[in-house]
Amino acid sequence: FPEERVVGNSFVIDLEIETDLSLPSKTDNLDDAVDYQKAYKIVASEMEEKSALLENIAGRILKSLSTELEGIIGATVKVAKINPPLGGKVKSVSITESWHR
C-alpha cells in the first residue's frame, strides 16, 4: 500500500536456528556455538532494506543467514507486520519460511 511507504511499518521477527548441538552442549564454550549476535545483526541489516513483500524479507534473511552464519544447518524465519492497513482491525499478518542444507 502506498501509505505504508510514507508512514512505515512495525515488524516482529521470530528466528529459529537449527544446528548440531553435540559440541557446545559438551564444552559450554561460546566459541563452539552459533553466534546469535551475528544472527541478530544479519536480520537487522536485512530489515533496513526496503521491500514490498514479507516473502522477500524472509527470503533475504534466510539467504544471508545461510551464507554468513557458520554452523547452521537450517533456519525458520517468521516475519510479522503489526497493525497492517487492511481496512479492518487486524493485530498482525505474517509469513513463515524455512531453509535447510
Active site residues: 81
Q: How far is CA 41 from CA 8, 21, 68, in A?
A: 21, 22, 11
Whole-angstrom distance, CA of residue 62 vs CA of residue 13: 12
What count of residues does the chain have? 101
